[in-house]
A and B are shown apart, each in its own frame.
Chain A
């Protein structure tokens, strides 16, 4: 990929053609920062040769739709992670929103039910953020508690039963397609692009990196850290609730166990993309790449009829390799 050019090499290049070396430099930078996309292309090439069903518009559209749920969780969690925090409760929030959206429909109507589901999700994110900001506890501990507790709320609300939608026209709300692209996938990509814009072009985005990079100097620079973190946790849970509502529309049922260990898959997708858990580094482009790669891997392996356990093992190995790659690239950049 990016071979270190020797001194003589780069010197001669600088003399002869400085613009090409600039392009090369920029290219290597893009490659080392967005390596997930190269990996994605590699995966797609391999699967296209391995299975005739893979490289069809229909299948690729499906891959995107299937990845959108983890994707929405990942978009929100990326914001939180750039802050240097983590949110383990997204899977439980997803289940709660999906249960509320279906459970409340008969009594208050479809759209109010969806609104309540989104508000409830956002509310729990606000609570998480507020506890993290006010108490000074580590977000891992706070959201680990919330993961257990919010799942409890879901069980209390559903009484351990899967809720079934009564009016099945509800499941047709999301059956809107733009070519192979489903509404669910469009919502996911839309949010990813929106928050990439927020990260790169707004004050909130700049502050997110500043806080994750060095919380103390961010504080001294006058950034309102507590408010910022609360907003990000609320956004993260809001997006999880959106995913939950979309999932309930897709399935027509709400399982109390929906989204269990999805927080782990979300972390896997984000880290695969190259966003770091330490904070201050990452982007929605990386997360988008990570989510799509994860979905492509799962889809490709399924098309090849690999048994379930291969999937799990490949995920584990890929994740560790991604970490090692990230580590090498980071240390090379530092040099």
Chain B
């Protein structure tokens, strides 16, 4: 095999990563602080909350469904954990938040998995509903942790181990657990099989309803953990804190190459996609562009990444 063929194969298989490395090189040439250890850690810390949610949503996307409610859910759960922290203490607040996240995920999962309603609409309805619940709960005002300096709750968002921020640890450990779960357990294979061919998996004895429901529960739970990090990092919560997260999360998942049709995708690809979005954002800022230019780049990157992926699979550029 010649060099050119090798290179072509590499680009076909990992075109996205190649493009990403090119981007890293270009930015680091013009901005020396870009590829320093501190900046890299900063970027991963910034994407850790989106990343946590994305890991959960990846499960849902692999089953061939969508979860648009995670942004509103993040808002509600952050408000909940911060407010309850002041009332029943950090431990119970976190427990309560995680329970709430599981319940919300299960409601989504019940409507989509058991009643077989359209996932896009159900989670859209949930987006609106949870926004309402948040305002009802908070009365429209912002909540703040009353003693941010003393509480151990600060560990999750502001703590460090071995010089690496706590959110990064949580993000990476969750990614590892999620990945193992998806690739090494029977349940993980069920997730893929439901996304690949639901009827076939039903006939081979997979409880598809329950698999879908658990995917939504995982998505909810991941959002619950993200809310704990968010609350601890900000030590407060506005009623709009999670707005738009659902789209960023989806953009990252799509960028990673997970198909919206279900049946394919991995956690590490999602982590890669989300991290890449973070680096693009950070790199453009370091190059001195206004922050909204990243949206234009994100647009181009999403279209190109998915198109190249499709083109490589079918061996032709155009459909």
A residues with a Cβ closer than 8 A to B are 131, 133-138, 140-142, 144-153, 155-156, 160, 264, 267-268, 271, 277-278, 307-317, 319-320, 323-324, 327
**A147 contacts B247, C-beta separation under 8 Å:** yes
Docked pose: A271 CA to B126 CA in angstroms = 15
Q: Report B-chain residues with C-beta under 8 Å of the C-beta of A267.
A: 120-121, 124
Measured between alpha carbons, how far is A114 from B105 in the docked complex, in Å? 45
Chain B contacts for A310, CB-based, 8 A:
132
Q: Are A316 and B132 in contact (CB-based, < 8 A)?
A: yes
A141 shortest CB reach to chain B, Å: 5
Partner of A141, one of B120, B122, B131, B254: B254
Which residue from chain B places its CB closest to the CB of A316 in the assembled complex?
B129
A133 to B319, CA, bound (A): 7
User: Which of B140, B298, B302 gathers most chain A CB within 10 Å?
Assistant: B302
- Tell me which of A153, A160, A264, A314 has the highest count of chain B C-beta atoms within 10 A of its own C-beta: A264
A323 touches B122 (CB 8 A): yes
Is B306's CB within 8 Å of the partner chain A? Answer: yes
Chain A CB within 10 Å — which of B111, B251, B300, B303 has the most? Answer: B303
Nearest CB on A from B61, distance (A): 11
Question: When chains A and B are docked, how far (Å) is the Cα of A323 from the Cα of B118?
Answer: 8
- CA of A323 to CA of B311 in the docked complex: distance in angstroms? 36
CA distance A277 to B68 in the complex (A): 16
User: Which of A140, A156, A278, A317 is in CB contact (< 8 Å) with B296?
Assistant: A156
Contact with A along B237-273 (1 / 0, CB 8 A): 0000000000100110010000011000000000000
The A interface, classified by DSSP as helix, strand, loop or mixed, is helix
Residue of chain B at shortest CB distance from A310: B132
Q: Which residues of B contact A277 (CB under 8 A)?
A: 118, 120-121
Q: When the two chains form their complex, are residues B135 and A320 in contact, meaning their CB atoms are under 8 A apart? A: no
List which B92-147 residues lie within 8 A (CB) of chain A: 111, 115-118, 120-122, 124-136, 140
Q: Could you tell me if B129 and A317 are in contact, using CB atoms closer than 8 angstroms?
A: yes
How far is A279 from B100 in the complex, measured between Cα atoms in Å? 35
Question: Which chain B residues (285-299) contact chain A, with CB distance < 8 Å?
Answer: 290, 292-296, 298-299
Q: How far does the alpha carbon of A317 sit from the alpha carbon of B128 in the complex, in Å?
A: 9
CB pair A136 B293 closer than 8 Å: no
**Which residue of the partner chain A has the closest CB to B294?**
A152
Expressed in whole angstroms, the Cα–Cα distance for A95 and B203 within the complex equals 48
- Whether B124 and A145, one on each chain, are in contact in the complex, defined by CB atoms closer than 8 angstroms, is no
Partner of A312 from the list B120, B135, B306 (CB cut-off 8 Å) is B135
Distance of B137 from chain A, by nearest CB (Å): 9
Q: Could you say which residues of chain B place their CB within 8 Å of the CB of A150?
A: 299
Which of B115, B296, B300, B302 is within 8 Å of A324, CB to CB?
A: B115
Could you say which residues of chain A place their CB within 8 Å of the CB of B250? 144
Q: Which residues of A contact B294 (CB under 8 A)?
A: 152
- Which residues of chain A have C-beta atoms less than 8 A from B37's C-beta? none
- Say yes or no: is B307 at the interface (Cβ < 8 Å to chain A): yes
Least CB separation from B311: chain A residue: A135
Interface contact A319-B125, CB-CB below 8 Å:
yes
A144 touches B251 (CB 8 A): yes
Given A149-B295, A153-B296, A155-B292, answer yes or no on A315-B254 (Cβ-Cβ < 8 Å): no
Residue of chain B at shortest CB distance from A155:
B292
**B260:A268 contact, CB within 8 angstroms:** no
Contacts of B319 in A (CB 8 A): 133-136
A264 touches B127 (CB 8 A): yes
CB distance from A75 to the nearest CB of B (A): 19
Q: Chain B contacts of A313 at CB under 8 A?
A: 128-129, 132-133, 136
Judging by beta carbons under 8 Å apart, are B261 and A138 in contact?
yes
Say how far A120's CB is from chain B's closest CB, in angstroms.
15
B310 contacts partner chain A, Cβ-Cβ < 8 Å:
yes
Whether B132 pairs with A311 at a CB distance below 8 angstroms is yes
The answer to whether A141 and B247 touch across the interface, beta carbons within 8 angstroms, is no
Best-buried of B132, B261, B293 by chain A (most CB within 10 Å):
B132
Are B292 and A152 in contact, with the CB atoms below 8 A? Answer: yes
Chain B residue numbers with a CB within 8 Å of A264 are 68, 124, 127-128
Q: Which residue of A lies closest to B118 (CB)?
A: A277
Shortest Cβ distance from A318 into B: residue: B125
Smallest CB–CB gap between B191 and chain A, Å?
20
Known: A138-B260, A149-B295, A153-B296. Is A315-B125 also a contact (CB below 8 A)? yes
Whether A316 pairs with B251 at a CB distance below 8 angstroms is no
Are B124 and A137 in contact, with the CB atoms below 8 A? no
> Are B307 and A320 in touch, CB under 8 angstroms?
no
Question: How close is A143's CB to chain B, nearest CB, in angstroms?
Answer: 10
In the complex the two chains form, is B303's CB within 8 Å of A142's CB?
Answer: yes
- Knowing A137-B306, A141-B306 are in contact, say whether A320-B117 is a contact too (CB < 8 A): yes
Neighbour of A148 across the interface among B251, B306, B311, CB < 8 A: B251
A-B contacts, 17 of them at CB < 8 A, read A135-B311, A136-B310, A138-B260, A140-B260, A141-B254, A149-B300, A268-B128, A277-B121, A308-B135, A309-B136, A312-B131, A313-B128, A315-B129, A316-B128, A320-B125, A323-B118, A327-B117
Q: Tell me the smallest distance from the CB of B106 to a CB of chain A, in Å.
A: 15
| With A144-B251, A267-B124, A319-B121: A327-B116 Cβ-Cβ less than 8 Å | yes
* Inter-subunit contact A309/B247 (CB<8 Å): no
Contacts of A268 in B (CB 8 A): 121, 124-125, 128
Partner among A133, A152, A278 whose Cβ is within 8 Å of the Cβ of B299? A152
